[in-house]
Structure 1
Amino acid sequence: MAKLVLMHRADSIYEDVPDVRYDFPKTYLKAAREAVGDWAIYYEPVKAGPRGYFAVARIQEIIPKPGVQDRFIALIEPGSYLRFDVEVPRLLQGRPLEAALRHADGTPKSGGAQQLAMRRLPDEDFARIVNIGLPQNLERIEAARYNPDAYEVAEDAAIFERPVIERLTNRPYRDVAFRRKVREAYGYRCAISGLQLRNGGGRPEVQAAHIRPVAHKGSDSVSNGLALSGTLHWMFDRGLISVAEDQTILVSRNKVPGEVVDRLIMPDLKLCLPQDKREWPHPENLRWHRENVFGQFIAAEPMPWG
C-alpha cells in the first residue's frame, strides 16, 4: 500500500466528488492501485484557489470509469473522508511539506512532481500534514472554546498522543471535526430557522446534523451536513422535515402542526446556505434523506413542542 496526494479543483474536467470518488486518467493507474486500502490527502493547486491541503480520505477500490476509455475512478471508503480543521499551506516557512517537492536545502523545486495530479506521499509527510490540519488536541480545543475554565482545569493533564490513523478512525474525534466545519460553514446559523442563537456564554445554539447518517454510508463531508437547532435536528433525523431538490424545506404536514411550522421554519421555506457553494448540501445526500427518512416517522416518543 502507499499513501497519495490527490490534486483536486472544483472547476476540473474530471468528475470528482471528494467524499465519494476521484476521477483520473490511466497515467496514474499504477500509483492508484498501490494506494487501495490506504489514505490520501486532497490538495488544491495554486491556480484553483488558496486551500492547499484540505482533506483526507481512504481509497477503497479502483474501477474503470464507465463509458470512458483510459479513465478510472478511485472509490472513497464510506465514512473515511474528513475535512481538515485548518487548511494546511503549501509551504511552511518557505519549505514544501512534501519531501519530493523540495531540494536538499529545503527550497521548493519547480515543475516536475508538483504538477502531478496524483503523487505518492511518504508516511512521515502524511503524518506531518494531518497533524497540522487535524490537531491532536482538537477535542480539548473545542471543549475550551466557549469555556476557558475547562481548559485551565485540564491544563496539567498530558495530551493523549493518539496515532494519526487511530485519530482518523475515532468516531468522537471525527464528530468534533465534523461539527466544527459544518457550524463554521453555516456561520453558526440554523439552516432551516435562519436563527443565529447563542447562550449566555457565547456558545452557538446550533448543532451539526448528518443528512445521510454515517451508519448508512454517509460521510463527514460538510456537503453531507446541515447546521440545525436542537428541535429541528430532532425533526430532521425523524423525517418530519426534509429538503427538496430546489432546496425548499419540506414538512410532513399531517404530523407537524401549522403553528410549529410558523414558529420554527423560515417563512419562505428556503434553506439558508453556506457562502461557499462547495459546502452546499449535495443533491444525492438530500435525495437519500427524502427517499429513506422523510415521512416515515412513527410517533413512539413525545414531540418536542408538547
Structure 2
Amino acid sequence: MVKLVLLHKADSIYEDEPDVVYDFPLSYLKAVKEAVGDWIVYYEPVKAGPRGYFAVAKIQTVIPKPGTDGRFLAMIEPGTFLPFDREVPRLLEGRPMEMSLTEPDGTPKRGGAVQLAVRRLPEADFARIVNVGLPQELEQIEASRYDPTGRELHETLDIFERPVVERLIRRPYREVAFRRKVREAYGYRCAMSGLMLRNGGGRPEVQAAHIRPVESHGSDSVRNGLALSGTLHWMFDRGLISVADDCETILVSHNKVPGDVVERLLVPDHKLVKPDHRRNAPHPDNLRWHRENVFGRALTGDAVPWD
C-alpha cells in the first residue's frame, strides 16, 4: 500500500465527490491501485491563491467508470473522509510540504511532478501535512476556546499524543473536527431558524447535525452537515423536519409539529440559510437520503421539547 496526494478541482471535467468517489484517467491506475486500503490527501489549487491540502480519506476499492472508456473510480471508504480544520498551503515558509516537489536546496520544483494529479506521498510528508491541517491538540483547542481556564479540558479529555492514523479514526476527535467545520461554514448561524445565538461566555449555541448519520454510511464532510439549534437538531434527527428536493425548502411533518411551534422556530420563508461558501452546501444525495429514510417516521415516545 502507498499513500497519495489526489488533485481535486471543483470545476474539473472529472466527476469527483471527495467524500465518496475520485474520478481519474488510466494513466494513474497503477498508483491508485497501490493505494487501496491506505490514506490519501486531497489537494486543490486555486488561481487566486492555492487552497492547498484540504482533507484526508481512505481508498476502499477501484472500479472502471461505467460507460466511460479509460476512466476509473476510486471509491472512498465510508466514514474515513475528514476535512482539515485549517487548509494547508503547498508551501510553508517557502518550502514545499512534499519532498518530491522540493529541489536539493529546499526551493520548490517547477513543472514535472508538480503537474501530476496523483502523486505518491511518503509517510513523513503525510504526517507533516495532517499535523498542520488537523492538529494533535484540536480537542484541547476546542475545549478551551470559550473557557480559557481549561476547566472543561481537564474534565473531559485524555491528554496524550496519538499517532496520526489513530487520531484520524478516533470518533471523538472526528466529531470535534466535524463540528468546527460545519459551524464555521454556516457562520455559527442556525440553517433553519437563521439565529446566531451565543451563551454568556460567547460559546455558539448552534450544533452540527449529520444529515446522513455516520452509522448509516454518512461522511464527516461539511456537505453532510447542517448547523442547527438544539431543538431543531432534535427534530431533524427524529424526522419531524427535512429539506425538499430543491435543497432549500424546509419540510415539516405538520401532523406531528404544531403550527405555532413551526412559526416560532423556522425562518419566515421556510428556506434554508445557506453556508458562506457554495462548496459547503448540503449535498442533494444526503438530503434525499434523509427525506427517504428519516423524514415522517413515527416517534418512539420521546418527550417533545415544546410541551
Alignment correspondent of 1:188: 188
Once the two structures are TM-superposed, the CA of residue 245 in structure 1 deviates from its matched residue by: 1.5
Alignment correspondent of 1:59: 59
Matched, 1:300 2:301: yes
Alignment correspondent of 1:271: 272
Alignment of 1:25-64 (within 5 A): 25-47=25-47, 50-64=50-64
Alignment correspondent of 2:149: 149
Q: Secondary structure at the match of 2:201?
A: coil
Question: Aligned equivalents of 1:153 and 1:243: distance in 2?
Answer: 36
Q: 1:54-99: per-residue Cα shift (whole Å, max 9, x none)?
A: 1000000000000000000000001100000011011011000101
Once the two structures are TM-superposed, the CA of residue 158 in structure 1 deviates from its matched residue by: 9.4
After TM superposition, which residue ranges in structure 1, 4 or more long, deviate above 4 angstroms? 151-154
Contact persistence 2:144–2:153 (CA under 8 A): no
Question: Aligned equivalents of 1:245 and 1:148: distance in 2?
Answer: 43
Question: Aligned equivalents of 2:24 and 2:277: distance in 1?
Answer: 25
Alignment correspondent of 2:24: 24
Question: Aligned equivalents of 2:284 and 2:253: distance in 1?
Answer: 20
Alignment correspondent of 2:253: 252
Matched, 1:78 2:115: no
Alignment correspondent of 2:91: 91
Q: Which amino acid aligns with 2:195?
A: L
Q: Go from structure 1 to structure 2 and tell me whether the alpha carbon gap of 1:152 and 1:210 turns closer, same or farther (over 3 Å shift).
A: closer
Question: Aligned equivalents of 1:70 and 1:219: distance in 2?
Answer: 28
Question: Aligned equivalents of 1:93 and 1:212: distance in 2?
Answer: 39
Question: Aligned equivalents of 1:153 and 1:275: distance in 2?
Answer: 30
Contact persistence 2:33–2:62 (CA under 8 A): yes
Question: Aligned equivalents of 1:223 and 1:46: distance in 2?
Answer: 20
Contact persistence 1:6–1:42 (CA under 8 A): yes
Once the two structures are TM-superposed, the CA of residue 151 in structure 1 deviates from its matched residue by: 6.6
Question: Aligned equivalents of 1:283 and 1:158: distance in 2?
Answer: 37
Contact persistence 2:194–2:267 (CA under 8 A): yes
Instruction: State which drifts further: 230-239 or 158-167.
Output: 158-167
Q: Go from structure 1 to structure 2 and tell me whether the alpha carbon gap of 1:100 and 1:200 turns closer, same or farther (over 3 Å shift).
A: same
- Could you tell me which runs of 5 or more consecutive residues in structure 2 were left unpaired when the two chains were aligned: none
Q: 1:93-119: per-residue Cα shift (whole Å, max 9, x none)?
A: 100010100011111110000100011
Contact persistence 1:140–1:151 (CA under 8 A): no
Counting matched residue pairs gives 304
Question: Aligned equivalents of 1:192 and 1:267: distance in 2?
Answer: 10
Q: Which amino acid aligns with 1:7?
A: L
Instruction: Give me the identity figure in percent.
Output: 73
In the superposition, the TM-score normalised over structure 2's length comes to: 0.97
Alignment correspondent of 2:210: 210
Question: Aligned equivalents of 1:50 and 1:271: distance in 2?
Answer: 30
Q: Which amino acid aligns with 1:249?
A: I
Q: Which amino acid aligns with 2:2?
A: A
Q: Go from structure 1 to structure 2 and tell me whether the alpha carbon gap of 1:153 and 1:216 turns closer, same or farther (over 3 Å shift).
A: closer
Q: Go from structure 1 to structure 2 and tell me whether the alpha carbon gap of 1:223 and 1:202 turns closer, same or farther (over 3 Å shift).
A: same
- Could you tell me which runs of 5 or more consecutive residues in structure 1 were left unpaired when the two chains were aligned: none
Q: Secondary structure at the match of 1:72?
A: strand
In the superposition, the TM-score normalised over structure 1's length comes to: 0.97
Contact persistence 1:240–1:297 (CA under 8 A): no
Q: Secondary structure at the match of 2:303?
A: coil
Question: Aligned equivalents of 1:25 and 1:47: distance in 2?
Answer: 23
